[in-house]
Amino acid sequence: MAPTLSVLEYHLAGYRRTWRASALSSFVLPLLTMLGFGVGVGAYVTGGVDGVPYLDWMVPGLIASTAVQVAMGDSSWPVLGNFAWMKIYYGQAAAPLRVSDILDGHLAFVVFRTVSSCGAFLVIATAFGTMHSWWALATLPVAALLGLAVAAPTFAYSATITSDSYLAILFRVGMIPMSLFSGVFFPVESLPSPLRWIAYVLPLWHGVDLSRAATLGVPPAWSVTGHVLYLAAWAAAGWLLAYRQFVRRLVV
């Protein structure tokens, strides 16, 4: 545990120098989306969705979507850079750390970034009066789990590629479709059946459904246990792939 924490501490030391810029960009985008879509589109969706105003319905989806964006962003270029450019991981491997300490410490930092970005967003969204229940606080552990479910496989991907042009592919064919088809902006039931499966298979919709149930204080479409186990499976499989790839790169 202590070795993993020392790696987290290292990442936090770097973050102390850059947090203003990164915190701003992590929730300015969702804030603009909230205002643009929620207030703008919401004016046309006069009947609301599922009996609540469109803005209130969309905000929990955006919180989950923010978790995915921060988790993926922080697991892509930084991981590639720590192998390819700054070679930070190699320096850590020369210290008495195990590969799992290096991986877990960095993952813990990404989860910290995810939860703190979602927390800031949650505060602002609350000020807009979009929270219907104290259960809204549960969006933060959901964000942590969703962040891990996305970050771990992204770590594996970023540790496999050798050029950052592959990251652009990940964001174009991975993150953008996931953000569009996961029930953030409209219910997945509006999608034709094959497209709906994109939502069911990828992690984001599971986080969206849980977050929405939390902020609106209603039961989720799926069972909570089912969502949690499914996200945990993504996290676990991603971790195993990432660990294998880290070992392959660091122990040669």
Partner 1 sequence: MSDPFTRVGHVSEEPLIHARGLVKRFGEFTAVDGIDVDVQRGEAFGFLGPNGAGKSSTMRMVGCVSPPTAGLLRILGKDPRHDGPAIRARLGVCPQLDNLDLELAVRENLTTYARFFGIPRKVARRRAEELLDFVQLAERADSKVEPLSGGMKRRLTIARALINEPEIVLLDEPTTGLDPQARHLVWERLFRLKQQGVTLVLTTHYMDEAEQLCDRLVVMDGGKIVAEGSPQALIERYSTREVVELRFHAEAQDVFADKLAGMGQRIEVLPDRILLYVADGDDAVAELQRRALHPASVLVRRSSLEDVFLHLTGRTLVD
Instruction: Give me the least distance between CB of 3 and partner 1, in Å please.
Output: 7
Sign of CA dihedral 137, 226, 101, 83: negative
* 90 belongs to the binding site for partner 1 (CB under 8 A): yes
* C-beta closer to partner 1: residue 196 or 244: 244
The span from the CA of 76 to the CA of 139, in Å, is 24
The span from the CA of 181 to the CA of 205, in Å, is 8
Binding to partner 1 by CB under 8 A, coded x per residue (else -) over 36-75, reads ----------------------------------------
Identity of the residue numbered 118? C
* C-beta closer to partner 1: residue 87 or 172: 87
* 2 belongs to the binding site for partner 1 (CB under 8 A): yes
Host H or E run for residue 8:
helix 2-33
The span from the CA of 163 to the CA of 170, in Å, is 12
* 17 belongs to the binding site for partner 1 (CB under 8 A): yes
* C-beta closer to partner 1: residue 9 or 50: 9
Among 86, 168, 229, 236, interactor with partner 1 by CB under 8 A? 86
Number of residues this chain uses to bind partner 1 (CB under 8 A): 25
Instruction: Give me the least distance between CB of 6 and partner 1, in Å please.
Output: 4
Among 48, 91, 129, 226, interactor with partner 1 by CB under 8 A? 91
* 21 belongs to the binding site for partner 1 (CB under 8 A): no
State the DSSP string of 219-248.
--SS-HHHHHHHHHHHHHHHHHHHHHHHHH
Identity of the residue numbered 19? W
For residue 49, the cross-strand partners are 52
Beta strands in the chain (DSSP E): none
* 249 belongs to the binding site for partner 1 (CB under 8 A): no
Give yes or no for a contact between 143 and 159, defined as CB atoms under 8 angstroms apart.
no
Among 1, 18, 21, 193, interactor with partner 1 by CB under 8 A? 18
Q: What is the contact surface with partner 1 in residues (CB under 8 A)?
A: 2-3, 6-7, 9-10, 13-14, 17-18, 86-88, 90-98, 250-252
